[in-house]
Structure 1
Amino acid sequence: MADEIRHRRNETNDRVTDGGHASGERSNSAQSGAHADETLPPLGSIARWFVTTNHKDIGILYTVTALFFLVFGGVLALLMRVQLWVPGGELLSPVSYNQTVTAHGLLMIFWFLSPFAFGFANYVVPLQIGAKDLAFPRLNALSYWLYLFSGALFGVSFFQGESLSGGWTMYAPLNVPTYMPSVGATTVVLALILFVASVTVSSVNFLTTIHRMRAEGLTYWRLPLFTWTILLTVWMMLFAFAALLAALLILASDRLLGTTYLAAEGGGSLLWAHLFWFFGHPEVYIVFFPALGVMAEAFQTFTGRRLVGRKWFILAMVLVAIQSFAVWMHHMFLTTINLQVKTLFMATTIGISLPFDLMVFALIYTMVKGRIRFTTPFLFSFGALVLFIIGGITGVFLGAVVLDYEFRGTYWVVAHFHYVMVAGVTALIGGLYYWYPKMTGRMYNERLGTLHFGLFFVGFNLLYFPMFLAWETPRRVIEYDPAFVTWHQLATVGAFVLAASFLVMFWNLSRSLFVGEDAANAPWEFATTAEWAVPSPPPLENFPGTPSYGSGSLQFVTPNRVLTPGGARGVADGGTADAAGPHGHDLGAHDQGHESHASAWPFVVGLASFVALLGLSGARDGGFPPGVEGGIYAGIAVVGVALLVFALVGMTRQRFYGPRGPFGESWPFERVENVKIGVWFFLASDVVLFGAFIGAYVFTRVAHGWVDWEIVPHDPLPGLVNTYLLLTSSFSVVLALVAAEKGSRYGLLAGLIATMALGVGFLVNKAIEWNELFHEGLTVSSSVETSTFYLTTGLHGAHVLVGLLIALYMIVKAARGAYLDDGRPVEYFGLYWHFVDIVWLFLFPLFYII
């Protein structure tokens, strides 16, 4: 049996993967995968990429799309460098230059860096933890299509007058229509909102998968380091992007509805800075952590040595992930925050560098104690370490209040920022070479890979290091001191060398895809994680059985036999696992039956979202402007919303089977099913969203004077009535769940209908109240008091509306006998509805009484 598996691991030619055909006969694992979903087209079909929900396909889509946005943002960067060849260059006008700078920053940070990393995460993480797919495959596909269409929406902004031109930080009040009135600027904001929706869906999916679907015996301590970094990254994303969403919704409201949140004197600009940087600083680690995971994997593989201080390395990452939310104000040292607060955040900034010191030394000692193999993935990983050290040291300067006063707004910040962020890009490029054989079944050309690294490293340093020397150049300005011309011209030359290096990469990888040598299952001698124990590329359902580490090493368990991969591989992460007996799970049950792998609805939902937001971008002051243009935008919005409703209904009605348990390691969530924990993770993100809105209200009110603040609803009675309505509706949801558990159809229907009636009553009462306020002249744009009231309670009302739509759908299904044999969907709806009710218990006293 061992000989058979060793032969299977070394096959490179005679296999079929993911439904595609190669020369020779099908392997058994490929056959089982090919039959898993007859509706999934073969790899060579274009239709495959529009309907696939398989994590490996989605990973490839993410990777290719992110590389496209790399080229997009890179071309903009070259335009900037040509413009700066001499002071006041004439290639671009000042306004065009500002749009170029802004678009470059937004594209690289949002649409390239994190999605590039999550291309690898989608492909590799389920393989590393022994899962057949992510917990929610259709949501995984949806996250990709929302990402793609958000990028397309961003691109459209250039054809709507002017795109956003205020820098990637979009500082207020420059981001409001008074200073940036173009439709294109609004489109960028809506594109970012759609991108955040993609991130939230993806974060919930990865958190559920990693926490609930690890292989037998794969405890948290045994998780591969790349999976660890993704786990911490998605935790940070879940909360950080919720804060960004709050900021973007406030900005979109100012631009679309005419609210005066950010334009208000006495705190609007400072409020934006707080919300944005509460997201912005964790974003640095969100970008860098996956790169750190690639570095750790590459250092272990190409030194033949398990990472020195591995547990301390993990603890350091956890500490950084937590601390990342406590340092945001060091970006605000030039604001009016008092010196004591600035000093506190200077200390937290210096403190967060200490865990990174531990991680850097762990990587260095791993090299010292191992035997280095200078392959292309290792060269890029080592180069990333060097660049990150320089970026980290120069960043310490900015963490000191006094030095920050001198350096802020100069090219010192530009250089430091790129030495940190592009260090992450460097490691991720190494990850592309590292997993390229696994993803394609082909080996790249090592000489061209080495040439790529040489050009990349020289070009990068030639581009960015002169910026330290010309640091007195102001950011985002086309004029600079002629004394710095030489440094800027060197930087421009470096930019083109760096761009040339990517041409080498694209040639190498595209050519190797067709003529490269066949890749073995494990082309790297000391690679030990589970993805190297299956064919390259893996079959559709990943494994020939259910992966298990229960015996201390990787085995594939089927109902009839146990397959043990040959060789010394198949350990969780570069070390030996403790021998541990099975935990009593029926491992073979996971392989009985097949999951679905195809659905066109995620694509349709993404397209509909794009159309709806494109139409919405033309709105102003709560409506569409008169004339042909306004009518066109209104028509597009109506079509988009109708298509979105149709797509969502179609997606809910589709019979789709995701990965089925029981799974191996799920501590501490063994008794919580995937959907339920997914709902909890989503609600955790929603807590931050509402927390940000409530915090924004309190901050704005304090800035304007708490006592002088005019409470908008003059009569608290409508709010009190709504409080009773929602509290009663929570009780009716509980009754509906009890009835479902008892098998009472009429009781279930009565509970759901009562909940819906009470919710409708809430919205009707709210509409009457708002109508009376409007007649009193208190509109959304009357004052900052009315803006905060309407926007915050309106966001809550939107949540109530979503809940009512879900309730209506469930009533229709319950009338046909659904939920009587499985009341869990009623429970999940109840969790959401109770959350909405709890939020109102905070909003009522804040906006009606205090």
Structure 2
Amino acid sequence: MGDLPPKRSVKRWLVTTNHKDVGILYLSTALFFLLLGGVLALLFRAHLWEAGGAGILDAVEFNQAVTAHGLIMVFWFLSPFAAGFANYFVPLQIGADDLAFPRLNALSYWFYLFSGILAGISFFQGGTLAGGWTMYAPLNVPTYTPAMQATTGGNAMVLALALFVISITIGTVNFLVTIHRSRAEGLGLWNMPLFTWSWLLTVWMMLFAFAALLAAALLLLSDRLFLTQYFASEQGSGLLWAHIFWFFGHPEVYIVFFPALGIMFEVFQTFTGRRLVGRKWVIIAMVLVAVQSFLVWMHHMFLTTINLEIKTLMMATTIGISLPFDLMVFALIYTMVKGRVRFTTPFLFALGALVLFILGGITGVFLGAVVLDYEFRGTYWVVAHFHYVMVSGATALVGGLYYWWPKITGKMYSEALGKLNFAVFFVGFNLLYFPQFLAWETPRRVFHFADDVQFYHQLSTVGAFVFGASFLILLGTLVHSLLYGPKAPDNPWEYSRTAEWAVPSPPPLENWSGRPSYASGRLEFVDDSSAATDGGVAHGNEADAVNAHEEEHADHASIWPFGIGISTFVLFLGLSGITSYVFQFAESVPDTLGQSLNTAPEPSVIYPALTGIGLVMLGVTLFKFGVEQFDAPKMPIAERWPFDGIGNTKFGIWVFLASDVVVFGAIIGAYIFMRLHLGWGDWHIETITEAGLLNTYVLLTSSFTVILALVFAERGNKKGLLASMGATLLLAFTFMGVKAFEYGSKISEGEYWWYSIEYSIYYVTTGLHALHVIIGVLIALFMIYRIVSVDAYLEDHRPVEYFGLYWHFVDIVWVFLFPLFYLM
């Protein structure tokens, strides 16, 4: 399936892999979740109209609304809305035909959509999470959850979060490969548009930050689904969660804000009519922030027992990270001063974002000081500061929607309605959140407050409804534009300077009629038959590659990303309800259950059935995805520094493995943290050293057989390739057999994973590694099928090499696990 149905067909949107279509899907879906999160916000703001807590919600309902609002806005609106712009415009800005892996791009969207649907369903499974969007331990596990009936719904929300992170990881790998290896000829990294620069740094931060969040979600799911003791433990569990979560959580602030910052740069340049002042220093400042964002997470933990010296260091890094932002803010101000400003709707939103961000940044400096943080932490001061920062990003994103709306739709919007939208938006936001600075002594996430701050809360609630009305005006403006707006020119903005304005509005399916090139120092479209890479005419193999590219028909449609998405959704929905079965089994084992669910939900046969159905569906759709013939757009001539010598797929695997390093690093870090917390020598768990040693030899030998497989593939030796892959598979089964024996020995002695924190960590850490082995086994089985059925990998041996990279990584992880669990 390579050809796309027309846009008016529902099928088009189920099968499309084109980056512009996927961008539209992201934008429209994110707007839906904005409305959903906004309704929840209006619900609890209405509850907070009067002091005393006698509102429309009870305590648990209030906490569920607050928690779901935070999670939906942070995860399902802000980042995906920016991802929609990135999907649509980054390939256009860098001169690419599409993203490097179009089907994975579509898969990333479907995982995002179904993760959001799963989050919504959690409300109807007895109730969703109610412990705040930060999901602090121990309130994130069933043992300490006030609403015991909410176990299944809470599981669904955490599974939705894990699925969302998988979506983010797939998209991150795709964008990193695309931006680094698919830039138009002559477009160096330094000269990329600033929105693309901001997105490049965003996805690099996403790669590592969301990997930490995935590790946290996996540990939390092990506690919630299988009753392990990571966050139910009375010793160190709260601090462990805080370390892992905030290692993700603080970079997430910049992950949300950087794309908005990129939009502000583009809009300021366009509507001041001049290049951004200090452009190269702004880029350097963004790079510094991206790196430093991973060094400040402990300022969220000033109220913990971390010693003062470390808190002081974190205070210094926190204040230090504000300095690059000062440079960016002054660059925007000086650009405005030195230019001729046109107060269009996009510019008003970008300017409003700058004003809100300055206020959010100044109020954040208070929280960066240890002494002041003791006073302000956990109050509405934090709520107001947080929203001034995050919604400043949302303000710029709305400006980006107006800025690029003519390019996406081919229609102009009403400037009068757009400016009305901004006025209501800006007034409503400040009326909503500025009074919260004045009512700062109110504890956050509490459903009642004192009488003396009631007036401020009433102002805030009025502001919430005015702010909500601004989004209705936004939607009305966009609908009016679609129905009645005049046709947009290809470039409606006089001083726009990026490549997306050089193509029709909306852009054609294939993006370019010629090949974009910056070889001459400016954007040109050259004839592929005489493509130049250095100012001359293509020669030899280069010309052949260009001609082949000209004859190639790129595909833009596949149903299997949607199939994999819905299969995973069914599987995860089934997993959300298995806790009661595990608890029922644990209760049947005397003297081993380390926690109690009090009123555990009754087991329902529907959840195991959904789990089984989901697994079968996922297996079928993944197989169909693997055997489908799909020709992605290729760029034979492109700027690829500094990764010129690495193919797209190989670079993508390296990037993916880098994120997996962080996942295992966090899991292993949790082991070391908890063991140190309990006392290294007081770690009471016996393992079978001989079994661990045998499995070490087995895995190291399997790495050798994978290398042999690559050698035979390079030589075109089918029998040798099959034998080597078969030997790798046999060794993997041997490893799993030894591991099953080891687990069986412990279970037969009553040593279950819920027995204590030591056993929880042993089972989860080695189990996660075993899951990677199982995934490797499934890949190897598929490859053997392909070798037997179609003589695959004999002419192109690269997939064998890619599998080897993954398998070697799995082996290296075991080299670390063996001494930690069997020798120490």
TM (norm. structure 2) is 0.95
Taking the aligned partners of 1:62 and 1:701, their CA distance within structure 2 comes to 43
Larger CA deviation: 277-286 vs 500-509: 500-509
Specify the SS of the correspondent of 2:633.
Answer: coil
Specify the SS of the correspondent of 1:522.
Answer: coil
Number of the residue aligned with 2:6:
42
Taking the aligned partners of 2:9 and 2:717, their CA distance within structure 1 comes to 48
Change (3 A) 1:598 1:401: same
Asked if the contact 1:330–1:349 (Cα under 8 Å) also holds between the matched residues in 2, the reply is yes
1:728 aligns with 2:701: yes
Q: 1:25-62 deviations in whole A, cap 9, x for unaligned?
A: xxxxxxxxxxxx86310111111000000000000000
The one of 104, 108, 115 equivalent to 2:73 is 108
The one of 623, 632, 635 equivalent to 1:649 is 623
Asked if the contact 2:379–2:444 (Cα under 8 Å) also holds between the matched residues in 1, the reply is yes
Asked if the contact 1:258–1:621 (Cα under 8 Å) also holds between the matched residues in 2, the reply is no
1:94 aligns with 2:31: no
Q: Which amino acid is the alignment partner of residue 103 of structure 2?
A: R
Taking the aligned partners of 1:45 and 1:164, their CA distance within structure 2 comes to 37
Taking the aligned partners of 2:278 and 2:76, their CA distance within structure 1 comes to 34
- 1:558: Cα distance to partner? 2.3
1:136 aligns with 2:136: no
- 1:106: Cα distance to partner? 0.3
Specify the SS of the correspondent of 1:178.
Answer: helix
Q: Which amino acid is the alignment partner of residue 94 of structure 2?
A: I
- 1:591: Cα distance to partner? 3.2
Asked if the contact 1:711–1:848 (Cα under 8 Å) also holds between the matched residues in 2, the reply is no
Alignment of 1:368-767 (within 5 A): 368-560=337-529, 585-586=542-543, 588-589=546-547, 590-620=549-579, 623=582, 629-713=603-687, 715-767=688-740
1:814 aligns with 2:779: no
Q: 1:602-654 deviations in whole A, cap 9, x for unaligned?
A: 11111111111111101127748599842111111111111111111111111
Q: Which amino acid is the alignment partner of residue 609 of structure 1?
A: T
- 1:262: Cα distance to partner? 1.0
Taking the aligned partners of 2:561 and 2:396, their CA distance within structure 1 comes to 31
Asked if the contact 2:49–2:55 (Cα under 8 Å) also holds between the matched residues in 1, the reply is no
Q: Which amino acid is the alignment partner of residue 676 of structure 1?
A: K
Specify the SS of the correspondent of 1:752.
Answer: helix
Taking the aligned partners of 2:91 and 2:478, their CA distance within structure 1 comes to 24
The one of 264, 273, 276 equivalent to 2:233 is 264
- 1:467: Cα distance to partner? 0.4
Q: 1:187-224 deviations in whole A, cap 9, x for unaligned?
A: 10100000000000000000000000000000001000
Change (3 A) 1:694 1:513: same
- 1:583: Cα distance to partner? 9.0
Asked if the contact 1:456–1:501 (Cα under 8 Å) also holds between the matched residues in 2, the reply is yes
Q: Which amino acid is the alignment partner of residue 730 of structure 1?
A: S
Taking the aligned partners of 2:144 and 2:620, their CA distance within structure 1 comes to 38
Number of the residue aligned with 1:55:
19
Taking the aligned partners of 1:170 and 1:38, their CA distance within structure 2 comes to 43
The one of 250, 258, 270 equivalent to 1:281 is 250
- 1:318: Cα distance to partner? 0.3
Taking the aligned partners of 2:529 and 2:712, their CA distance within structure 1 comes to 42
Larger CA deviation: 613-622 vs 423-432: 613-622
Number of the residue aligned with 1:34:
none
Asked if the contact 1:380–1:427 (Cα under 8 Å) also holds between the matched residues in 2, the reply is yes
The one of 817, 823, 848 equivalent to 2:797 is 823
Taking the aligned partners of 2:216 and 2:670, their CA distance within structure 1 comes to 9
Asked if the contact 1:102–1:164 (Cα under 8 Å) also holds between the matched residues in 2, the reply is yes
Q: Which amino acid is the alignment partner of residue 34 of structure 2?
A: L
Larger CA deviation: 394-403 vs 652-661: 652-661
- 1:588: Cα distance to partner? 3.5
1:300 aligns with 2:269: yes
Number of the residue aligned with 2:295:
326
Taking the aligned partners of 2:741 and 2:529, their CA distance within structure 1 comes to 66
Taking the aligned partners of 2:197 and 2:537, their CA distance within structure 1 comes to 23
- Count of residues in correspondence between the two structures: 799
- 1:725: Cα distance to partner? 0.3
Larger CA deviation: 309-318 vs 554-563: 554-563
1:176 aligns with 2:141: yes
Asked if the contact 2:225–2:579 (Cα under 8 Å) also holds between the matched residues in 1, the reply is yes
Asked if the contact 2:531–2:538 (Cα under 8 Å) also holds between the matched residues in 1, the reply is no
Taking the aligned partners of 1:791 and 1:508, their CA distance within structure 2 comes to 51
Q: Which amino acid is the alignment partner of residue 639 of structure 1?
A: I
Q: Which amino acid is the alignment partner of residue 630 of structure 1?
A: S
Specify the SS of the correspondent of 2:604.
Answer: helix
- 1:711: Cα distance to partner? 3.4
Q: Which amino acid is the alignment partner of residue 129 of structure 1?
A: I
Change (3 A) 1:38 1:183: closer
Taking the aligned partners of 2:584 and 2:482, their CA distance within structure 1 comes to 51
Asked if the contact 1:154–1:187 (Cα under 8 Å) also holds between the matched residues in 2, the reply is yes
Change (3 A) 1:512 1:561: farther
Number of the residue aligned with 1:187:
156
Specify the SS of the correspondent of 1:315.
Answer: helix
Over the matched positions of the two proteins, sequence identity in percent amounts to 65
1:78 aligns with 2:37: no
Specify the SS of the correspondent of 1:556.
Answer: strand
Asked if the contact 2:581–2:603 (Cα under 8 Å) also holds between the matched residues in 1, the reply is no
Q: Which amino acid is the alignment partner of residue 111 of structure 2?
A: L
Taking the aligned partners of 2:188 and 2:581, their CA distance within structure 1 comes to 52
Taking the aligned partners of 1:772 and 1:334, their CA distance within structure 2 comes to 43
Number of the residue aligned with 2:591:
none
Q: Which amino acid is the alignment partner of residue 264 of structure 2?
A: M
1:121 aligns with 2:79: no
Asked if the contact 1:551–1:582 (Cα under 8 Å) also holds between the matched residues in 2, the reply is no
Taking the aligned partners of 1:819 and 1:430, their CA distance within structure 2 comes to 49
Unpaired runs of at least 5, structure 2: 586-600
Q: 1:779-821 deviations in whole A, cap 9, x for unaligned?
A: 1011111000000000000000000100011111112311110
Taking the aligned partners of 1:620 and 1:410, their CA distance within structure 2 comes to 35
- 1:668: Cα distance to partner? 1.2
Asked if the contact 1:546–1:588 (Cα under 8 Å) also holds between the matched residues in 2, the reply is no
Taking the aligned partners of 1:294 and 1:591, their CA distance within structure 2 comes to 34
Q: Which amino acid is the alignment partner of residue 704 of structure 1?
A: L
Q: Which amino acid is the alignment partner of residue 19 of structure 2?
A: H
Q: Which amino acid is the alignment partner of residue 80 of structure 2?
A: P
1:805 aligns with 2:778: yes
The Cα RMSD (Å) is: 1.6
Taking the aligned partners of 2:459 and 2:609, their CA distance within structure 1 comes to 51
Q: 1:459-490 deviations in whole A, cap 9, x for unaligned?
A: 11010000001100110112211111111111
Alignment of 1:14-29 (within 5 A): none
1:147 aligns with 2:112: yes
- 1:547: Cα distance to partner? 0.8
Taking the aligned partners of 2:686 and 2:521, their CA distance within structure 1 comes to 65
Asked if the contact 2:89–2:500 (Cα under 8 Å) also holds between the matched residues in 1, the reply is yes
The one of 343, 350, 359 equivalent to 2:319 is 350
1:790 aligns with 2:790: no
- 1:89: Cα distance to partner? 3.4
The one of 124, 134, 156 equivalent to 2:121 is 156
Change (3 A) 1:486 1:756: same
Taking the aligned partners of 1:59 and 1:140, their CA distance within structure 2 comes to 10
Larger CA deviation: 277-286 vs 769-778: 769-778
Change (3 A) 1:458 1:198: same
